[in-house]
Amino acid sequence: MKKTVLIILAVMLSCSLLFAQGAEEANTIKIGVAGAHSGDLASYGLPSVNAVELVVANINAAGGIDGKMVEVIVEDDQCKPEIATNTAAKLVGEEVVAVVGHICSGATKAALGIYNESKIVVISPSATSPPLTKSGDYPNFLRTIAPDDAQAVLQVDFALNVLGSKKIAVLHDKGDYGKGLAEFAQAAIEGSSAEVVLFEGVTPGAVDYSAVINKIAQVGADTVIYGGYHPEAAQIIGGMRAQGLDIAFIGGDGVMDATFIAVAGDDAEGVYATAPVDTTSNPIAIQAAAEHQAAYGEDYGAFFLNAYSAALAIVNAIDVANSTDYDAIMAALKSEYVQTAVGNISFDERGDAIGVGFSVYQVNNGTFAQLD
């Protein structure tokens, strides 16, 4: 008899523990962070992890959202579409209500359908490919960065009206982000006072790019506009300078990273890049920078402020909606403005941020500086 009672008590205790665990989980709001957290492009993804963790730490320290603590679930996609689908599936399995990420446009596109099927909000701090919002295929997607078509127009306007470019070579890395940016630049040049003398894709990870550099020289280009990321850009600019090809080089936000300068060294001097407008004087940006320095002992990296802003937008929407329901969160994101590190923002019907834009930067004495 005693043995039977002990078994019953054990079962009851087990059930009580499971119930308690379930109640605890029900009182937790999970937010995912997806992006390149390892590999060549980790310098773009890891700052977003730090940003979300800092925002969530502040929220939890203040009592959470309606008494519920927020939990951060981090998954790495290495900026590779084939990995991003698995990353998305893992986050869906974790029952996150929203995701900050992904980082690269190709990986973002690969993952979005999975999130959409599960009604999960996704806000990227860095995926700039225009079709992600303009195609209408991903109603669950938003971003805290302006799209590539706006960036390309700025690049071309700067090349024509500031640099006086006449013969422009447009290169890209064949990816969704890089090729898309290059195609928008090409379209912006057509009908202008300049001409596209070369439009060509390069293979990421190649040993050298001497073939395309020779073509740039042969066509007499006075400017290169590049759509792609910093590893290839560093090699291309290094090869150009080694051959004495001292012409203007304009990259996008995929180039504006400290790693580009570290790899390219002195060859990086004078390189231009378009990237989000400098908002470091914004009070929330100042606070975020101080938090990062205190927590990690160093300055923040690429897209940190955009990710910090995405996290603020998500927690604000959940709070305003008083719900973690997908439709309620989306409605709040598109109807409410929220003060963030990149400004007072909201999102239009397509998911693009209202109140953000791009500026031109140049490497000067080993650092990117915004031009007036």
Q: What is the pLDDT of residues 3-48, one digit of tens each?
A: 333 333 333 333 333 333 433 445 899 999 999 999 999 999 999 9
Residues 122, 30 share a domain: yes
Crossing angle between the packed helical segments 176-189 and 148-161, to the nearest 10 degrees: 40
Residues 140, 15 share a domain: yes
Crossing angle between the packed helical segments 81-93 and 105-117, to the nearest 10 degrees: 30
Residues 194, 101 share a domain: no
**Alpha helices for 62-119 (secondary structure H):** 81-93, 105-117
Residues 289, 198 share a domain: no
Neighbours of 10 (CB within 10 A): 10
**Amino acid 372: pLDDT:** 74
State yes or no: pLDDT of 204 exceeds 50.
yes
CATH number of the domain residue 341 falls in? 3.40.50.2300
Pairing mode, if any, of strands 28-35 and 167-172? unpaired
**Amino acid 26: pLDDT:** 57
Residues 30, 44 share a domain: yes
Whether residue 247 contacts residue 267, with contact meaning beta carbons closer than 8 Å, is answered with no
With a CB cutoff of 8 Å and minimum separation 6, the contacts of 328 are 321, 322
The total domain count for the chain is 2
Whole-number Å distance between alpha carbons of 163 and 73: 45
Whether residue 239 contacts residue 217, with contact meaning beta carbons closer than 8 Å, is answered with no
| pLDDT tens-digit readout, 109-140 | 999 999 999 999 999 999 999 999 999 999 99
| Domain-located, residue 247 | yes
Residues 17, 136 share a domain: yes
| Domain-located, residue 308 | yes
| Domain-located, residue 50 | yes
| Domain-located, residue 2 | no
Q: 235, 252, 269 — which closes off a domain?
A: 252
Residues 134, 36 share a domain: yes
| pLDDT tens-digit readout, 161-197 | 999 999 999 999 999 999 999 999 999 999 999 999 9
| Domain-located, residue 265 | no
| pLDDT tens-digit readout, 311-335 | 999 999 999 999 999 999 999 999 9
Phi and psi at 330, nearest 5°, equal: -60, -40
Residues 154, 141 share a domain: no
Residues 160, 129 share a domain: no
Whether residue 351 contacts residue 345, with contact meaning beta carbons closer than 8 Å, is answered with no
| pLDDT tens-digit readout, 65-109 | 999 999 999 999 999 999 999 999 999 999 999 999 999 999 999
| Domain-located, residue 242 | yes
Residues 286, 141 share a domain: yes
Whole-number Å distance between alpha carbons of 47 and 299: 10
| Domain-located, residue 30 | yes
Whole-number Å distance between alpha carbons of 128 and 130: 6
| Domain-located, residue 362 | no
What's the Cα-to-Cα distance from 247 to each of 149, 198, 244, 282, 366, rounded to whole Å?
A: 24, 14, 9, 35, 18
Q: Residue 105 is part of which domain span?
A: 11-145+280-356
- Partners of 343 in beta bridges: 340
Whole-number Å distance between alpha carbons of 199 and 124: 29
> Of 353, 328, 295, 286, which Cα lies nearest the Cα of 65?
328
Residues 240, 154 share a domain: yes
**Amino acid 280: pLDDT:** 85
What is the token pair recorded at 51? 């940003």
Q: Mean per-residue pLDDT for 223-237?
A: 97
Element housing 35 (H / E): strand 28-35
Among left, alpha and beta (phi > 0; psi -120 to 50; other), residue 354 is: beta
Crossing angle between the packed helical segments 283-296 and 304-321, to the nearest 10 degrees: 110
Whole-number Å distance between alpha carbons of 114 and 85: 7
Residues 154, 123 share a domain: no
